Structure 1
Amino acid sequence: MKNFMRPSFLTILALGLIAGSVAQAQVGDGKPDPNYAVPERLDLQYALGFALDNNFAIRQAKERIREQEGVVLEVRSSQIPNVDASGGYQRNDEEIGNNGRDRAWSVNITARQVLYAGGGVRAGVRAQQLALDAAVLDLQSVINNSLFEVRTRFYTVLVNRERIGVQEQNIDLLKRQLQDVKNRFDAGTVSNFEVLRSEVALANAQPALITARNDYRLSIEEMRQALGFMTANEENMTKIPEFVGTLEFVNPVTYELRSSLSTARENRPDLQRLEKLLAAAEQGIIVSRSGYYPNVAAFGAYDWRMNSTGSSSFSNARDGWTVGLQTSVNIFDGRATKGRVIQAKSFLEQTRLATAESQLAVDVDVRRAISTLQQSTELAEASKKVVEQADEAVRLANARFSAGTATQLDVLTSQVDLTTARINQLQAYYSYNVAAAAVRRAMGLADELRPVSELPPVTK
């Protein structure tokens, strides 16, 4: 059983920033370079570090944060003085001018500061700041999901590579069996039917190998998509790295359901994001209600004006200060404010329902992940014994066949059983590794990245 402490929001934000710095230290400045070369060796940690900076979902989430930062700046502009300048110049016929003046110009600089707006300005800023916090949490959620996908794709490459090895071993066994039968046929100890049966068994094994090789190729392309790897280099388009790693099943992990559910409710970024949006929706009601209250602002202006005949010298201009207060209040706005309040309350309730729904979905996600992990662990443990027994069965069948106490069908059957057992073991190990990662993702725990100093350098 594993217990986890609840991290603060600042901790989550720091993790996101650290993840970004890891990616930048490994891959660059955050903008993918199409000239990156495919490395000779590719391990899981390298792939995770590369995806942090290049995965398209992560990059879009980062841009959403930048967009929300701009919204916060825009809304905060109402809290500080706004200064604008205006000017004008006109020239007209003296006959229609004022006292025969044929030209006029004016310059005005005005500063305006909102003093009271029914709490709408402050609530609007607070709502957008909460939305920014939600965007940061959304990034953490996207990172967790994207890195989980990278892990899964990497494990898929490994399992498909190992399946090729199993099928090749199976074909090698069948080839040796066919050669042995041919030798026996030449010696007159077996019939031509035994040779034909061995040839058919060898031919039937070929489609599985062809399929395994195709699955391996496709899994590499899916891995490329999960990484966000794009290149303009023709050599990199066909180059395949050596994938480093194996599907292991050593010291299987276990999680206690109650503590896992508690950890998920505290750590899942998507739940924390909804809580931020719920608080922002509450501020939205205040913004809508501000329409019932007057708006009071202070202003100060300085004007330069001149009406003249023939001359437009600044020395003839008149200038001076103007200061004052402005206020406005909606006496009747056609019930528009009431409509906005109703909308804000409904949006708050919808957000509250979405939060409750997501809470239930997270609980189910955790329960499903733990149950799948338990199943995968049991299958992996069972597969170990089956492979040992199947391997021993092949050895005994060959020995008995050589002694004349077993048929060739017994040998072929035992070989098929061994291949099936090995494939099942690979699938069980794959399922276990994916299930263990799925539990961590369901609990909202960050992916286990090695320190920057331990990651391999990116090849350019």
Structure 2
Amino acid sequence: MSRKKAFVKPAVLLATSLLVFNTAIPFSAASELSLDDSIALALENNPSIKMAIADKEKAVWGIKENEAGKMPNLSLSNSNNRASGAGAASSSDNFSTSLRASWPLYTGGRTEGLIDQAKYNANIATVGVVKAKEQVKLDTTTAYFSVLQNNKLVKVNQQTVDNLSEHLKNVQAQFQVGTIAKSDVLRSEVELANAQQNLTKAQNAYDVSIATFNNIIGLPLDSQNTMKDDLAFASYDMSLEDSIQMAKEKRPEIMQSQDTINAAKAGIKVADSGKLPTVSASGTQGWSGSKFPGDNSNWTVGVSASWNIFDAGVTNAKIKEAQANMDKVSHTDQQTRTAVELEVRQAYLSMKEAEARIETSKVAVDKASEDLKASQAKYYAGVGTNLDVIDAQVALTQAETNATQALYDYNVNKAKLQKAIGAGIE
């Protein structure tokens, strides 16, 4: 009997150890992520950046495509015919082979204009990669702070539930000894139930923010990571005027807008080329005869020019179309610059407004916490009311929620402002 007990004990210890080890595995899989770590993951995994890079590569190949218009072309053609007449003893073959080279010498500026357009479009696509990265940085930062905010709100609501649960115990104890009315118990139970519902909502918001964050940085949606950073206040030192000036110099949208204007100017050049002559050189080497590639050899070399004297107004219409497009992109450029300035102003003013709320919300939390303690002390001493305690708890929860919201709004609007002025662009 003793031997059996001696055997069972080590087995239980071994099984317990394995259980502890296995349950520790999921926790070890989770990792701490700083905001910089999260941004690095997003820049590596986010599909919008990969799509922008693909657009850039496509635009670069567009330059090569149009540059080929200035280079010579070489083509080879061959035909083979077999003929047989009525009563002929045999059929005959006829081979014809030609090798032709052509070289556009002058296109009226059309080729050069298309190359310029392709280069400006490549610049736009290159800046588009930067623009995509900046948007991903902002989305990641916002999602990161959203996780921190919702985690804080879960704690606030959990503390509210704990406080109201403890208060309900005290209320029930006083009701048992007959010092308070049943209504105090019922009201306390209702407030606790409401607080528990708010906690459930806060937990759900936290879970959703985690999934959203994981989606942005390219992790499985159910990944659980610990956020290394916290919602904190760090001052922004630039003035509004300096911020606007920096945005005008560094915003990708303004760079893209200028390249769009340049591409439209090149489009006018392309359209104008229809009024000018074109010149090309060509050479042909041919073979023909009854045997492949041909018994007889011949060649030609020449220069040709063409000038479209009348095209029923097609060229003029293309020029007018290109000029109208130039007017459109000029107006769009002004609209873009105004929108950038407005975005900077909105983010800056919203950040400053949140900064002011941070200070007032701290004071409100301190006062609400003191009021709750005082209300609880009075009620338990029999000189206060249950409603005073409940109101004080509601006020404290609201004050802590407002403080969390103010910190979140400040950090998010600061991130929006940094994106709006192009602060992250190298």
- CA-to-aligned-CA distance 1:19-42 (integer Å, 9 cap, x gap): xxxxxxxxxxxxxxxxxx985444
- CA-to-aligned-CA distance 1:398-456 (integer Å, 9 cap, x gap): 233333332222222111111111000010000000010011111122279xxxxxxxx
* Paired letter, 1:204: N
Q: Which residue of 1 aligns with 2:65?
A: 74
Q: Which residue of 2 aligns with 1:204?
A: 194
Question: Is there any run of 5+ residues in structure 1 with no aligned partner, and where?
Answer: 1-36, 230-235, 449-460
Matches within 5 A, 1:286-305: 286-305=269-288
Q: Report whether the alignment pairs 1:408 with 2:386.
A: yes
Deviation (angstroms), 1:319: 2.5
* Paired letter, 2:305: T
Higher relative contact order (CA 8 A, sep 6+): 1
Matches within 5 A, 1:178-327: 178-229=168-219, 236=220, 238-249=222-233, 251-306=234-289, 308=290, 312=291, 317-327=295-305
- In 2, Cα distance between the equivalents of 1:113 and 1:317? 28
- In 1, Cα distance between the equivalents of 2:286 and 2:37? 64
When the two structures are superposed, what TM-score results if normalisation uses the length of structure 2? 0.87
Q: Which residue of 2 aligns with 1:396?
A: 374
When the two structures are superposed, what TM-score results if normalisation uses the length of structure 1? 0.81
Q: Report whether the alignment pairs 1:93 with 2:84.
A: yes
- In 1, Cα distance between the equivalents of 2:423 and 2:98? 58
**Number of positions where the alignment pairs a residue of Structure 1 with one of Structure 2:** 398
Is the alpha carbon distance of 1:239 and 1:55 closer, same or farther for their aligned partners in structure 2, counting shifts above 3 Å? closer
SS of the aligned residue for 2:312 comes to: coil
* Paired letter, 2:262: A
53, 75, 78: which is aligned to 1:84? 75
Contact 1:401 1:407 in 2 (8 A): yes
- CA-to-aligned-CA distance 1:262-301 (integer Å, 9 cap, x gap): 1111111011101001001101101111011111011222
Contact 1:147 1:447 in 2 (8 A): no
Contact 1:94 1:102 in 2 (8 A): no
Deviation (angstroms), 1:142: 2.0
- CA-to-aligned-CA distance 1:340-378 (integer Å, 9 cap, x gap): 101100001100000011111111111111111110110
Matches within 5 A, 1:30-69: 39-69=30-60
- In 2, Cα distance between the equivalents of 1:255 and 1:405? 54
Is the alpha carbon distance of 1:423 and 1:95 closer, same or farther for their aligned partners in structure 2, counting shifts above 3 Å? same
- In 2, Cα distance between the equivalents of 1:431 and 1:140? 25
- In 2, Cα distance between the equivalents of 1:413 and 1:440? 40
- In 2, Cα distance between the equivalents of 1:227 and 1:332? 59
- In 2, Cα distance between the equivalents of 1:85 and 1:446? 54
Task: Flag the structure with larger Rg.
Answer: 2
- In 1, Cα distance between the equivalents of 2:319 and 2:87? 53
Deviation (angstroms), 1:89: 1.5
- In 1, Cα distance between the equivalents of 2:131 and 2:45? 16
Percent identity of equivalent pairs:
29
SS of the aligned residue for 1:124 comes to: helix
143, 146, 150: which is aligned to 2:140? 150
- In 1, Cα distance between the equivalents of 2:333 and 2:340? 10
Question: Is there any run of 5+ residues in structure 2 with no aligned partner, and where?
Answer: 1-27
Q: Which residue of 2 aligns with 1:387?
A: 365
Is the alpha carbon distance of 1:270 and 1:38 closer, same or farther for their aligned partners in structure 2, counting shifts above 3 Å? farther
- In 2, Cα distance between the equivalents of 1:272 and 1:263? 13
Is the alpha carbon distance of 1:352 and 1:194 closer, same or farther for their aligned partners in structure 2, counting shifts above 3 Å? same
- In 2, Cα distance between the equivalents of 1:95 and 1:265? 84
- CA-to-aligned-CA distance 1:4-51 (integer Å, 9 cap, x gap): xxxxxxxxxxxxxxxxxxxxxxxxxxxxxxxxx985444322321222
Is the alpha carbon distance of 1:130 and 1:313 closer, same or farther for their aligned partners in structure 2, counting shifts above 3 Å? closer
313, 318, 336: which is aligned to 1:358? 336
Deviation (angstroms), 1:145: 1.7
360, 371, 378: which is aligned to 2:356? 378
SS of the aligned residue for 2:224 comes to: coil
* Paired letter, 2:48: A
Is the alpha carbon distance of 1:413 and 1:447 closer, same or farther for their aligned partners in structure 2, counting shifts above 3 Å? farther
